[in-house]
Chains A and B, each alone.
Chain A
Amino acid sequence: MGIPLRQAFAVSRYLLKQKLLRKERYPLVLMLEPLYRCNLECEGCGKIQHPEEILNTYLSPEECWEAAEECGAPVVSIAGGEPLIHPQIDQIVEGLIERKKFIYLCTNAILLDRWLPKLKPSPYLTISVHMDGLREQHDKAVDREGVFDKAVAGIRKAKEQGYRVSTNTTVFNDSSPTEMGDLFNFLMDDLNVDGMMVSPGYDYPKAPNQSVFLKRPEMIATFKSILDSPDRRRWRFFHTPVFLDFLQGKRAMQCTAWGNPTRSVLGWQRPCYLMNESYAKTFVELIEETEWERYGYGRDARCTNCMAHCGYEATAVGATMASPLEGVRAALGTMGGRGSS
């Protein structure tokens, strides 16, 4: 099974409600960044280059819960920084589960072993482990040896203890389609993860290594090559078929920047998860006072090479809801756990 039926129904009900209320802009996934501090310095990361006083600032559990309530999105992705550095991450997760939010706890898994006894398996909680390749490729991407083995051990242990586990893979210009295929086979067959997410890297201007990013035509060619694999039918992606079509250039889409609003230690980040132009004090201020028309592919040069799921999956969900055929395709993907290509 891919996305759990409970989650699929809850998200569908939420989307239907927004349609009935005729809301033009509504969030789908809250990107919650309770801290920017990380225990890695990945070569393609643009999140951790803040001054020390900001890196030492953490959102309290109450601030995290308030953000989730204020925003109202049915899904919360806890990112960062490394969320497992936060000393109260178990409380944050517990409070969000009480609020019936579907949580993706994103982690590099280095500290997962310490936290598993304090977290509780729940249908609302998915541990999402960062996996950019097999051993050599992943350790190069995170710039530290041994992280791949720790992540694998963490996934195995979490699965043994009954947690839902997914992975999140960023594709860079040195990610070979063959190796990506081998990685997905390993994650599905050996680790038996519940699902996988995949996204091209965003060319953060502050990332330590600017040479790792793909340009848009290269992204499309790379994803076509990855998803053309005969093994594709065995891979369970936590994505809509429409998004996977988009990654392969089979479908035109524009970004839905407000679909994944970001609450960090600095406030509500404007305009999106990947660009930080300014910060709003409240979610309502973010939605109502941001000049959304200014952003997106073709409109802002910084969006030229972005095909990330935090911008386009919300568009894909909207397209799925709007088309009965795509709805059936997504439902079959959910039932079979496959998505589609």
Chain B
Amino acid sequence: MSLLVVAPTPREARAIGPDCRVTGAGERGALALADLLREHKPETVLIAGLCGGLDPSLGPGHLILAREALDESGEALQPPAMTVTNARRAMRNEGLRFVCSRLVTVAKPVATPDAKRDLWNEHGAAGVDMETAAFARVAADHGAGWMALRAIIDPAAMSLPGSLHGWDGERGEFATALGIALRPRDWLGAGRLAAALRPALRALREGAPIVARVARDTVPLGDDLLA
């Protein structure tokens, strides 16, 4: 199976490896993915990157293998069940810290523990990001299968620094860092986030190649034959 591996930001892509393409975050990322799909015509897309944690039992660096991607309205898309099962087994064999759960996609960062709790109670998604459901929809529209793997950076109990609350995916790393530097009350939160970044990127570096290999090697039977 031909595979396209994508991540929203250059930092995430660097952790995943040289074959990973950067799309940008949010809506802009979905448009860039459509262009990449038209150009490369892969059979499967692996959507990888960081995410916020909603499942309170998970910490920074825990991986989430998506069994379903939800948008804010609750509309759900599923990756091929057989590929998910094979990826789950492969990750377990490698001893990775992961869960196979839902990912919910939102337009703005979910910044506070209370907001994360409400989203968790509503959807039962282990993680929240700004791309997966939209990217999965784009992949499906282009006739490609998809898989998603996310590593938690900010767990359910962690608040994001105030300057990230309105982040829309358009602002780059430098502008984001500058915004934090200009707000001393964000420094502690930013320090916590920076400390969580290392295990999250390490997990992504370890997990993404395994899921990519499984996605390349698995020829899905079609979910109707697996029921």
- Chain A positions within 8 Å of B, measured between CB atoms, are 216-217, 220, 249, 251-254, 291, 293-294, 296-299, 304, 315
Contacts and interface: CB of A to CB of B under 8 A. Distances in A.
B65 to A, nearest CB: 10
B55 to A, nearest CB: 6
Given A299-B99, A299-B101, A220 B57 contact: no
A252 B117 contact: yes
**Centre residue among A217, A220, A298, A304 by max chain B CB count within 10 A:** A298
Contacts of A254: 55-57
A171 B144 CA distance: 45
Nearest to B125: A298
Contact of B121 (A220, A293, A299, A315): A220
B122 A299 contact: no
B98 A251 contact: no
**Centre residue among B100, B118, B121, B125 by max chain A CB count within 10 A:** B121
Contacts of B55: 254, 296-298
Contacts of A299: 67, 99-101, 126
B169 interface: no
Contacts of B122: 217
B156 interface: yes
A252 B54 contact: yes
Instruction: Give chain B's interface secondary structure class.
Output: mixed
B116 A298 contact: no
B100 A253 contact: no
Given A254-B56, A254-B57, A293-B99, A298 B121 contact: no
Contacts of B116: 252
Contact of B56 (A217, A220, A252): A252
B102 interface: yes
B10 to A, nearest CB: 30
Contacts of B118: 249
Instruction: Give chain A's interface secondary structure class.
Output: loop
Nearest to B126: A298
B57 A296 contact: yes
B135 interface: no
Given A217-B122, A252-B121, A299-B126, A294 B100 contact: yes
B92 A298 contact: no
B146 interface: no
B121 A304 contact: no
B126 A252 contact: no
B124 interface: yes
A120 to B, nearest CB: 41
A304 B74 CA distance: 14
15 contacts: A216-B124, A217-B121, A249-B121, A252-B56, A252-B117, A252-B120, A252-B156, A254-B57, A291-B92, A296-B99, A297-B120, A298-B101, A298-B120, A298-B124, A315-B57
A293 B98 contact: yes
B14 to A, nearest CB: 28
Contacts of B98: 293
Contacts of A252: 54, 56, 116-117, 120-121, 156
A293 B92 CA distance: 10
Given A252-B54, A298-B55, 16 more contacts: A216-B124, A220-B121, A249-B121, A252-B56, A252-B116, A254-B57, A291-B92, A293-B92, A293-B99, A293-B100, A294-B88, A296-B55, A297-B120, A298-B126, A299-B100, A299-B126
A253 B57 CA distance: 7
A304 B124 contact: yes
Nearest to B156: A252
A253 B121 contact: no
B23 to A, nearest CB: 26
Nearest to A304: B124
Contacts of A217: 121-122
A249 B118 CA distance: 8
B219 to A, nearest CB: 24
A110 B125 CA distance: 43
